Amino acid sequence: MSPQFSRSGTVRQVVRSATGPDAVTVEPLFAEGGLPMVVRPKEAGADLVSLATVQKKWLADLLLEHRALLFRDWQISEAAAFHRFVEAVSDGEPLQYRDRSTPREEVGDNVYLSTTYPAAERIELHNEGTYWTAWPQKLFFCCVTAPTVGGETPIADNRRIKERIPAPLRERLERSGVRYVRNYNSGFGLTWQEAYQTSSREEVDRYAAENDTVTEWLDEDHLRTVQIRPAVRPHPVTGERMWFNHAAFFHVSSRDPQTREALVEALGEDGLPFTTAHGDGSPLADEDVRIINEAYLAEEVAFRWEAGDVLLLDNMSVAHARRPYEGDRKILVAMTDPVHGEAFEPTAPVSDVEER
């Protein structure tokens, strides 16, 4: 691997795989640097799967260093090739998407279409699976069809997000954790059958018990679940404590005022599809949620998708979102390399922690 200089004067790295002339360049996508780094072949027709197979360790180190890699001009344009790349760069098969919060269509072998969500609406920044007991370390996106307008997948640096959140608020959440409450079959959001990919209540209860989730069947088809999870988790490689939660994402105040009012009026506070609180059950203040959301947005960067793009994220280090779009948009998603978290109990009541 040897350094070269781009036209802008920034240093970029070049590595040649053992497969022959398929060298790559690695440089920031944006002139000001930051996320993501873009990885391009030096020669047309280079094979990304071959590179990933031969240079797996180098790519793993590159991801650990830069946290977000955009593979561009490699002509990965269909699910089978994407799946082969995912397998080549990972330590196992793609993960199944269970305990779902949004609709996903599987296109094969645990490769999914990105969230089926109205094109005119935005999906806010988040990390995948923060409320699971085992979540993916690697998160992959592949652009098969780029929308004509919008539809970017913004990303944001979790380290910088954490730094922007005032220390008293951050420390309160770190000590209390986050309490996630979900109601299924309330007429809004997914049914429990869709979320857990089963029609068996017994299987749901078994899965929940194995994953530190409390279930309450309010009637034949109304399931409520409660999960208490950390707000901050250690990175499995570096040990760095990462901001890693859905505290603001699932909070009702993150919705627009009209939608919030309609949901509360129709379902009541206890019947909302999603709600979050401190781990001891005390409310998470709207103002705190606003501060957290502003921290996310301040770090957001975005690029226009091009057909064939593959985006690889360190899921614990980088959050992702989706902007509204027009036209057809087909983005594939896969998750790999599960990280298993420890059971969590709040270490102090929120009232014992310094106020913001």
For residue range 186-203, what is the model confidence (pLDDT) as tens digits? 678 889 998 998 999 999
Higher pLDDT, 8 or 60: 60
User: Predicted confidence band at 3 (pLDDT cuts at 50, 70, 90)?
Assistant: very low
How far from chain centre, in Å, is Cα 144? 19
Is a pLDDT exceeding 60 seen at residue 23?
yes
Task: Give the CATH fold of the 160-295+343-352 domain.
Answer: Double-stranded beta-helix (3.60.130)
CA distance linking residue 114 with residue 204, whole number of Å: 24
pLDDT tens readout for residues 134-172 = 999 999 999 999 999 999 999 999 999 999 999 999 999
Domain boundaries, the chain: 2-117+136-149+302-340, 160-295+343-352
Taken in order 72, 76, 77, 83, is the CA torsion positive or negative? negative
Average pLDDT, integer, range 28-36: 96
Higher pLDDT, 299 or 21: 299
Nearest alpha-carbon partner for 246 in 292, 207, 200 = 292
Is a pLDDT exceeding 90 seen at residue 64?
yes
Residue 184 contacts residue 264 (beta carbons within 8 Å): no
Higher pLDDT, 335 or 92: 335
pLDDT tens readout for residues 72-93 = 999 898 999 999 999 999 998 8
Is a pLDDT exceeding 90 seen at residue 352?
no
Average pLDDT, integer, range 104-116: 87
Question: How much of the chain exceeds pLDDT 70, in percent?
Answer: 91
User: Predicted confidence band at 7 (pLDDT cuts at 50, 70, 90)?
Assistant: very low
Strand-pair partners of 178? 229, 278
Tokens standing for 37? 């780094």
User: Predicted confidence band at 348 (pLDDT cuts at 50, 70, 90)?
Assistant: low
Parallel, antiparallel or unpaired: strands 68-71 and 37-41:
parallel
Question: Cis peptide leading into 36, omega within 30 of 0?
Answer: yes
Residue 176 contacts residue 348 (beta carbons within 8 Å): yes
User: Predicted confidence band at 12 (pLDDT cuts at 50, 70, 90)?
Assistant: low
pTM of the model: 0.91
pLDDT tens readout for residues 44-59 = 888 999 999 999 999 9
Predicted local confidence at residue 185, as pLDDT: 79
Predicted local confidence at residue 212, as pLDDT: 95
Contacts 24+ apart (CB under 8 A), 272-275: 272/181, 272/183, 272/186, 273/182, 273/183, 273/184, 273/186, 273/188, 273/189, 274/101, 274/180, 274/181, 274/182, 274/189, 274/250, 275/180, 275/181, 275/250, 275/251
User: Predicted confidence band at 184 (pLDDT cuts at 50, 70, 90)?
Assistant: very high
* CB-based burial, 90-113: b 16+ in 10 Å, e otherwise: beeebbebebebeebeebeebbbb
Weakest mean pLDDT among 92-106, 166-180, 209-223, 301-315: 92-106
Is a pLDDT exceeding 90 seen at residue 17?
no
Is a pLDDT exceeding 70 seen at residue 18?
no
Predicted local confidence at residue 1, as pLDDT: 45
In the numeric block, the tokens 């592949």 are attached to 142
Average pLDDT, integer, range 302-325: 98
Task: Identify the CATH homologous superfamily for domain 2-117+136-149+302-340.
Answer: Clavaminate synthase-like (3.60.130.10)
Predicted local confidence at residue 6, as pLDDT: 47
Domains 2-117+136-149+302-340 and 160-295+343-352 share a fold: yes
Residue 184 contacts residue 223 (beta carbons within 8 Å): yes
CA distance linking residue 13 with residue 94, whole number of Å: 29
